[in-house]
């Protein structure tokens, strides 16, 4: 089955439209708006929502164990960056580097600058199923006051993209990725995911406490570690100088 698309000129927040109305709407509904007056970012931040930005929220049901829920935001960011790359058309014979990347856990970067983000909210709906409302904002086409995807495409001498095209490529990917996570795990998506993520080999300082998995529980000293990847259930994996996995 397809999607129900609700498109509006201006709303307070596409996320809020679904929070308030999901129960009355069919699953696989997407709400998209040209501008928002009260766009929500993560951690209570506001999301500046000018024209030219793709702003949408998708409502789906996912039947999965609760421990897998954090993976949905990774799947969502993957759907966005893959779609951005797919819109660039066929790569030249000599190949070409990705211009879109993922700053973990849910920022979309293009050429080192944030152009978008993802906000996933889940509510348990019974019988092992969760309601997911995944909000996606991608600055496709407004140069001011920030930075946008089309600006980079112009600099690269490539075709500019429209918000609708990006949305059209994202939606089937979202459902496919959510289903893979529900039925299997994130593992089948990891290889593609690493192709976009910015953190392989990144150096971090971690406090030796229970917030990292490993054998340093209780100690207060800081350790230098190198990020090696994500585990199947979405934990950040890192190694210290003894190659001990954390
Ligand atoms: C972030 O980087 O903090 C996440 C930003 C998510 C913004 C999108 S725009 C469409 C949807 N509606 C909202 O109010 N927020 C999300």
ipTM: 0.99
Q: Are residues 225 and 143 in the same domain?
A: no
pLDDT above 70 (res 160): yes
Ligand 1 centroid from CA 47, angstroms: 6
Q: Please indicate whether residue 216, judged by its CB atom, sits closer than 6 Å to ligand 1.
A: no
Residues 217 and 126 in one domain: no
Residue of higher predicted confidence among 152 and 204: 152
Residues 56 and 126 sit within 8 Å (Cβ to Cβ): no
In a domain, 93, yes or no: yes
| Residue 245 is assigned to a structural domain of this protein | no
Summarize the confidence of residues 81-90 as an average pLDDT.
93
Mutate to test the pocket of ligand 1, among 35, 47, 102 (most ligand atoms within 8 A of CB): 47
Asked if residue 33 has its Cβ within 6 Å of ligand 1, the reply is no
CATH number at residue 98: 3.30.930.10
Instruction: Looking at the CA of residue 33, tell me the nearest atom of ligand 1.
Output: 10
Q: Which domain holds residue 212?
A: 203-239
Do 164 and 208 sit in the same domain of this protein?
Answer: no
Average confidence score pLDDT of the chain: 90
Domain membership flag for residue 115: yes
Is pLDDT of 245 > 80?
no
Q: Are residues 44 and 112 in the same domain?
A: yes
Q: Sorting pLDDT into bands at 50, 70 and 90, what band is 239?
A: confident
Residue 140: inside a domain, yes or no?
A: yes
Q: What is the pLDDT of residues 184-234, one digit of tens each?
A: 999 999 999 999 998 877 888 877 654 444 454 555 678 888 888 888 778
Q: Are residues 112 and 165 in the same domain?
A: yes
Please state the atom number of ligand 1 nearest to the C-alpha of residue 36.
Answer: 14
Report the separation in Å between the CA atom of 108 and the middle of ligand 1, taken as the mean of its atom positions. 12
Answer yes or no: do 227 and 120 share one domain: no
Q: How confident is the model at residue 59 (pLDDT cuts 50, 70, 90)?
A: very high
57 lines ligand 1 (CB under 6 A): yes
Confidence of residue 145 (pLDDT cuts 50, 70, 90): low
Q: How far is the CA of 64 from the centre of ligand 1 (A)?
A: 24
163, part of any domain = yes
Average of per-residue pLDDT across 144-173: 93
Q: Are residues 84 and 13 in the same domain?
A: yes
Residue closest by Cα to atom 2 of ligand 1: 117
For residue 119 and ligand 1, the question of a CB distance below 6 A is answered with yes
Residue 177: what are its φ and ψ, rounded to 5°? -70, -40
pLDDT reported for residue 1:
65
Ligand 1 atom index nearest CA of 114 = 2
From residue 98, give the alpha-carbon distance in Å to each of 12, 156, 195, 196. Answer: 34, 12, 8, 7
Average pLDDT on 5-18 reads 97
State yes or no: pLDDT of 237 exceeds 70.
yes
Model pTM score: 0.91
Closest to 136 measured CA to CA, from 71, 41, 51, 70: 41
Residue 38's pLDDT is 96
My answer on whether 167 and 212 are in the same domain is no
Ordered alpha helix ranges (H), the chain: 14-21, 70-86, 149-155, 163-183, 187-194
List the helix and strand counts (H, then E) for the chain. 5, 10
Q: Are residues 133 and 208 in the same domain?
A: no
Whether the CB of 39 sits within 6 Å of ligand 1:
yes
Tally the domains of the chain: 2
Boundary-marking domain end, from 157, 173, 194? 194
CB 39 within 8 A of CB 137: yes
In a domain, 244, yes or no: no
CA 49–ligand 1 middle distance (angstroms): 9
220 and 179 inside one domain = no
In a domain, 64, yes or no: yes
pLDDT of residue 4: 97
Secondary structure (3-state) at 83: helix
Q: Are residues 171 and 223 in the same domain?
A: no
- CA end-to-end span of the chain, whole Å? 42
- Do 100 and 211 lie in one domain? The reply is no
Q: Between 206 and 115, name the one with better pLDDT.
A: 115
Ligand 1 nearest-atom number relative to CA 41: 3
Q: Which two tokens stand for residue 145?
A: 């006051």
Whether residue 246 lies inside any domain: the answer is no
């Amino acid at each position: 089955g397809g999607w129900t698309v609700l498109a509006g000129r201006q709303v307070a927040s596409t996320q809020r439209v679904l929070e308030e109305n999901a129960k009355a709407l069919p699953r696989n509904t997407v709400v998209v708006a040209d501008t928002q007056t009260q766009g929500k970012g993560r951690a209570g931040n506001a999301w500046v929502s000018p024209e030219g930005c793709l702003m949408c929220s998708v409502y789906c049901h996912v039947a999965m164990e609760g421990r897998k829920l954090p993976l949905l935001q990774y799947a969502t960011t993957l759907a966005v960056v893959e779609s951005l790359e797919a819109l660039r058309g066929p790569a030249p014979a000599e190949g070409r580097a990705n211009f879109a990347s993922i700053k973990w856990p849910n920022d979309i970067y293009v050429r080192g600058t944030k152009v978008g983000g993802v906000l996933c909210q889940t509510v348990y709906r019974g019988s092992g199923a969760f309601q997911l409302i995944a909000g996606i904002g991608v600055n496709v086409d407004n140069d001011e006051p920030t930075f946008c995807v089309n600006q980079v495409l112009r600099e690269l001498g490539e075709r500019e993209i429209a918000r609708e095209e990006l949305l059209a490529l994202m939606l089937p990917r979202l459902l496919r990725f959510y289903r893979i996570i529900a039925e299997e795990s994130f593992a089948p998506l990891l290889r593609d995911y690493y192709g976009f993520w910015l953190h392989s080999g990144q150096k971090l300082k971690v406090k030796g406490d229970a917030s990292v998995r490993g054998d340093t529980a209780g100690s207060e000293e800081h350790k230098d570690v190198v990020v090696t990847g994500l585990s199947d259930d979405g934990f950040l994996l890192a190694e210290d100088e003894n190659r001990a996995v954390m």
